[in-house]
Structure 1
Amino acid sequence: MKKLQNALYITKDGAYLHKQRETLLIEKKEDGEKQKLMQIPIHSIGSIFCFGNIMVSPQLLGFCGENGTHLAFFDMHGRFLANIVGKQTGNILLRRQQFNVKEQHADEIAKHIVAAKIRSSRMLLLRFRRNHNATLPLEKAIDRLKQIIEQLKGVSDYDTILGLEGEAASHYFSAFADMFKGNDKRQLFNKRTRRPPKDPVNSVISLLYSVLGQEISGALQGVGLDPQVGFLHKERPGRNSLALDILEEFRAYIVDSIALKLFNNKTLTTNDFKTDCLGGVTIKEEARKLIFQAYQAKKQEEIMHPFLKEKVQIGLLPHIQAMLLARHLRGDLAHYPPFVIKK
Structure 2
Amino acid sequence: MSSLYVSQQGCYIALQQEQLLVKRNNEILTQVQLPHLEQVLIFGKSQITTQAIRACLWRDIPIVYLSRMGYCYGRIIAIERGYRALTRYQQELGLGERLGVAQNIVLAKLNNSRTLLMRQQRRHFSPSLTLAIESLEYLQKQVKGADSQERLLGFEGAGAASYFAALGDCLRNRDFVFTARSRRPPGNPVNALLSFGYQVLWNHLLALIEVQGLDPYQACLHSSSERHAALASDLIEEFRAPLVDSLVVYLINRYLLEVNEDFEYRQGGCFLNHQGRRKFLQSFVQRMEESVTLKNGTVEPKWGLLSFQVKAFKEFVYHPGGGYSPYLID
Alpha carbons of structure 1 residues 90 and 246: separation in structure 2 relative to 1, 3 Å: farther
- Residue equivalent to 1:100: 92
Alpha carbons of structure 1 residues 86 and 229: separation in structure 2 relative to 1, 3 Å: farther
Whether contact under 8 Å (2:262, 2:275) holds in the other structure is no
- Residue equivalent to 2:64: 69
**Distance in structure 2 (CA, Å) of the matches to 1:225 and 1:115:** 23
**Distance in structure 2 (CA, Å) of the matches to 1:238 and 1:86:** 23
Whether contact under 8 Å (1:71, 1:84) holds in the other structure is yes
Task: Give TM-score scaled by structure 2 length.
Answer: 0.78
State whether structure 2 residue 314 is matched by structure 1 residue 314: no
- Residue equivalent to 1:175: 166
Question: Among residues 170, 178, 198, which one is paired with 1:189 in the alignment?
Answer: 178
List structure 1 runs of 4+ shifted beyond 6 angstroms.
38-41
**How do 1:1-343 residues align onto structure 2 when only pairs under 5 Å count?**
1-7=1-7, 46-48=41-43, 68-71=63-66, 83-84=73-74, 89=81, 94-101=86-93, 105-134=97-126, 136-183=127-174, 187-305=176-294, 307-331=295-319, 334-341=322-329, 343=330
Could you tell which deviates more after superposition, 266-275 or 231-240? 266-275
* Per-residue CA distance 1:288-335 (angstroms, 9 max, x = gap): 222111111211223343x43554431111110111111111117611
* Per-residue CA distance 1:51-96 (angstroms, 9 max, x = gap): xxxxxxxxxxxx9xx963234598xxx9x7x843555946755321
**Distance in structure 2 (CA, Å) of the matches to 1:208 and 1:39:** 30
Find the residue that maps to 1:126 and give its secondary structure: helix
- Residue equivalent to 2:21: none
Alpha carbons of structure 1 residues 332 and 113: separation in structure 2 relative to 1, 3 Å: closer
Task: Give TM-score scaled by structure 1 length.
Answer: 0.75
**Distance in structure 2 (CA, Å) of the matches to 1:175 and 1:253:** 16
**Distance in structure 2 (CA, Å) of the matches to 1:199 and 1:280:** 7
- Residue equivalent to 1:56: none
Query: Structure 2 unaligned runs (5+)?
Result: 15-23, 32-39, 46-52
Alpha carbons of structure 1 residues 195 and 83: separation in structure 2 relative to 1, 3 Å: farther
Alpha carbons of structure 1 residues 332 and 278: separation in structure 2 relative to 1, 3 Å: closer
Alpha carbons of structure 1 residues 150 and 90: separation in structure 2 relative to 1, 3 Å: farther
Number of corresponding residues: 296
Structure 2 counterpart of 1:108, one-letter code: G
Whether contact under 8 Å (1:106, 1:232) holds in the other structure is yes
**Distance in structure 2 (CA, Å) of the matches to 1:7 and 1:311:** 17
Alpha carbons of structure 1 residues 183 and 230: separation in structure 2 relative to 1, 3 Å: farther
Offset of residue 189 of structure 1: 2.4
Find the residue that maps to 1:266 and give its secondary structure: coil
Alpha carbons of structure 1 residues 68 and 174: separation in structure 2 relative to 1, 3 Å: same
Alpha carbons of structure 1 residues 103 and 92: separation in structure 2 relative to 1, 3 Å: farther
Whether contact under 8 Å (1:258, 1:295) holds in the other structure is yes
Whether contact under 8 Å (2:193, 2:248) holds in the other structure is yes
**Distance in structure 2 (CA, Å) of the matches to 1:49 and 1:103:** 40
Alpha carbons of structure 1 residues 326 and 124: separation in structure 2 relative to 1, 3 Å: same
Whether contact under 8 Å (2:177, 2:190) holds in the other structure is yes
Give the superposed CA RMSD.
Answer: 3.4
Alpha carbons of structure 1 residues 68 and 280: separation in structure 2 relative to 1, 3 Å: same
Alpha carbons of structure 1 residues 156 and 311: separation in structure 2 relative to 1, 3 Å: farther
Query: Structure 1 unaligned runs (5+)?
Result: 10-16, 23-37, 51-62
Whether contact under 8 Å (1:48, 1:71) holds in the other structure is yes
Could you tell which deviates more after superposition, 93-102 or 317-326? 93-102
Find the residue that maps to 1:251 and give its secondary structure: helix
**Distance in structure 1 (CA, Å) of the matches to 2:248 and 2:235:** 20
Structure 2 counterpart of 1:246, one-letter code: L
Alpha carbons of structure 1 residues 234 and 86: separation in structure 2 relative to 1, 3 Å: farther
**Distance in structure 2 (CA, Å) of the matches to 1:170 and 1:71:** 32
Find the residue that maps to 1:101 and give its secondary structure: coil
